[in-house]
Amino acid sequence: MEPRPYHHGDLRAALIHEGLRLLEEKRGEEPSLREVARRAGVSATAVYRHFPDKQALMAALAQQGLQQLATVQNAASDSVGGGDEGFAATGRAYVRFALAHPALFRLIFTSPVLAAVREDGVLDSDAGALLYANAAAFAARAGGEAHARAIRAWSLVHGLAMLMLDGQIPADEALIDQLIRVQKQA
C-alpha cells in the first residue's frame, strides 16, 4: 500500500522552508523540530518521516543554503557575461549573500552540521564547483595553479564576509566592490 501524501503537498520542502525562516528569525539559534512542525502545520511526529533528528534537518537547511548561494552566484556571473568579470561577480555575490543571510551563512560555514557530507574535508556543492571552474578558467588564461587560485579567491571573500558579519569592518557595498574585482595578475 502506498503512503498517503501530506495534505499540503511536499512536506519535506515545507519543513525546510519553515526551518530557514525560523533560523533567520531567531538569528542563528537552531529551531527545534517541534517549532518547525508547528510552523508547517503538522504534528511533531510527522517531521520524523523526513528527518530522523534535528541534525538531519539542520544539514538539509545548510544544503539548501548552499544551493541558494550557488543560484545567486550563477546569476551574478551571468549578469556580467561570465569570464573574469563573472568570477569577480560570484565573489561579490558570496559576501552579499552572507550579509543578507547571516544565520544561514554561519550554519553552512561555521557549524559542524555538514561534516558528514564532506569528502576529504571538502564540501561538494554547486557553489564550490562554480568556484573551482572559475579558478581553473582563470588559471588557464593567466597562469598559476587552479586549486591555489580557488583557495585564494575563497579566502578573500569568506574572510571579508566574516569580518563584516562580526562587525570588525563595516558592511559597505563600495568596499565589497573595491576589494573583489577582476585580478589581472596574482
Residues 6+ positions from 55 with CB-CB distance below 8 Å: 113
Q: Mean pLDDT in the chain?
A: 90
Closest Cα partner for 90 from 138, 139, 25, 52?
138
Domain borders along the chain are: 1-52, 55-179
Query: How many C-alpha atoms does 145 have within 13 Å on its Cβ side?
Result: 4
What letter represents residue 91's amino acid? G
What letter represents residue 149's amino acid? R
Q: Which tens digits make up the pLDDT trace of 80-137? A: 999 999 999 999 999 999 999 999 999 999 888 887 666 655 567 899 999 999 999 9
Does the fold of domain 55-179 match that of domain 1-52?
no
Q: Which CATH architecture has domain 1-52?
A: Orthogonal Bundle (1.10)
Q: Is the pLDDT of residue 184 over 70?
A: no
Amino acid 4: pLDDT: 40
Q: Is the pLDDT of residue 15 over 80?
A: yes
**pTM of structure:** 0.88
Q: Give the separation between CA 99 and CA 139, rounded to whole angstroms.
A: 29
Amino acid 111: pLDDT: 87
Q: Give the separation between CA 132 and CA 173, rounded to whole angstroms.
A: 25
Q: Give the separation between CA 146 and CA 141, rounded to whole angstroms.
A: 11
What's domain 55-179's superfamily in CATH? Answer: Tetracycline Repressor, domain 2 (1.10.357.10)
> What phi, psi does 119 have (nearest 5°)?
-110, 120
Q: Quick one: DSSP state of residue 52?
A: S
Length of the chain measured in residues: 186
